[in-house]
A and B are shown apart, each in its own frame.
Chain A
């Protein structure tokens, strides 16, 4: 068994990394001169660029000789299966595990817990995001297997995000849109994308470029939608009257129920139900901001009690 492939075309990668990083080096050198920063910074800069250079070269080489071709090949084999629907549950599992493992997702979860003053626990967010990304990748695979146009998924998805944005609390909106990138870690961008492209290339009637891409966009959209929805489920610092209080409690418990019932049968990747859940919670979310304005003079202690209720 030969391992020659490891160094295959490594010179191309080195040239690429050189073109990628030399602008950074030049820009930083200019800044160091212009702002007359201490000489010791020059050494730090050179060390940093050297590390980044070596790292980027190894990373890209690993992707080129390993992840892209193997991912393409695995996708092609699965796409050629008589039971090619197996891509859908596999997509779910890969998305779930990749999100679970992604360090940035943990940081986001803690951020949301903070913004909700502790009423949304970070573990809730973590599992919600894992489920969301898993379902969205499963949906993306469904699209490739059954030939659903990308428009039909991404445009409604973006419109939903825009609608949610209008009703969502500003703090949640900002976090939600920042979180678009958290789940698109190194494994999603390299391996899962390569699998999708390989499968689209293999299946008759699909085009690798038209149908194979789009998965990263969906993985980026999942947390945006989920974080804003979570913001509706637990209104942390808004005052409300008894009516909307019940509404929100209902929304919270419904959300929990749907999530927990989705857990056992996640293999089937029932994206319809997820869409229903989205609509339902979005609809109920619309109610609360209006009502809260009217009754904004109630004292805030009641809110704390209410929050504890909905959590228990």
Chain B
């Protein structure tokens, strides 16, 4: 466990440190930003580093092992319908707790002057992820090639984008990127591994590949539909 924690700390410092240095250089030499703005940035960097570290420790050291256990029990005991419903709820709840999704929602809230509510945005992203996670589980169980679903999903996104109001297009594509954050990825993978392992000889580990790719189409469609309805 200590090893895990050390590794997480290193990972977080590695991901944030270098870019903080580069941004500081830009602030001092190109923008000549006022010192108060620099301190604000610096305080933010320290909070983000500490926060991400604690969050990842909580997720990986205790939540994820429980999630894996639940995933394997669920797939071995439940019926197909129960499994699909559980996968949907799982995907939804994990996305609601995803840090990256919250950051995007905040930025959208600020940039749109509150016109696009962050709560509604998060819910439509989470609905999209939930739907596509259960679709992905169904795919593994039915043995449908991943390519078919990815291609259909992407073509649908391209077509739908022409009917989406312009102010929602960029945000909806961004929503696809933020769902693949530190919370969603390990949990969705755990669910997929659980499902494939129950299938035993019928399936291979390769089946779990593509799960994340599929899950990140959901929010794009979810936010686009939100735009079509409210835009």
Contacts and interface: CB of A to CB of B under 8 A. Distances in A.
B146 A189 contact: no
Contact of B15 (A151, A174, A186): A186
A24 B94 contact: yes
Contact of A62 (B44, B147, B151, B212): B44
A186 to B, nearest CB: 6
B141 interface: no
B66 A6 contact: no
B85 interface: no
A204 B103 CA distance: 26
Interface string B31-60: 101011101111111111111111111110
A306 interface: no
Interface residues of A, number: 104
Contacts of B15: 101-103, 185-187
Contacts of A72: 110
Contact of B47 (A65, A165, A178): A65
Nearest to A31: B70
A193 B178 CA distance: 11
Contacts of A54: 51, 54, 58
Interface in B6-29: 11, 14-19, 22-23, 26-27
Nearest to B17: A101
B42 to A, nearest CB: 8
Interface size class of B (residues with CB under 8 A): 35 or more
Contact of A59 (B30, B51, B111): B51
B65 A174 contact: no
A201 B111 contact: yes
Interface string A142-154: 0000000011001
Interface string B201-231: 0000010011111101000000000000000
7 contacts: A60-B106, A65-B47, A66-B45, A151-B161, A165-B154, A177-B212, A209-B116
Interface of A: 1, 3, 5-6, 16, 19-21, 23-24, 27-28, 31-32, 35, 37, 41, 44-45, 47-70, 72-74, 77-78, 86, 90, 93-94, 97-98, 100-103, 150-151, 154-155, 158-159, 161-162, 165-166, 170-171, 173-178, 180-182, 184-187, 189-191, 193-194, 197, 201, 207-217, 219-220, 224
Given A48-B59, A59-B51, 7 more contacts: A59-B55, A73-B33, A98-B18, A101-B19, A181-B216, A186-B16, A186-B99
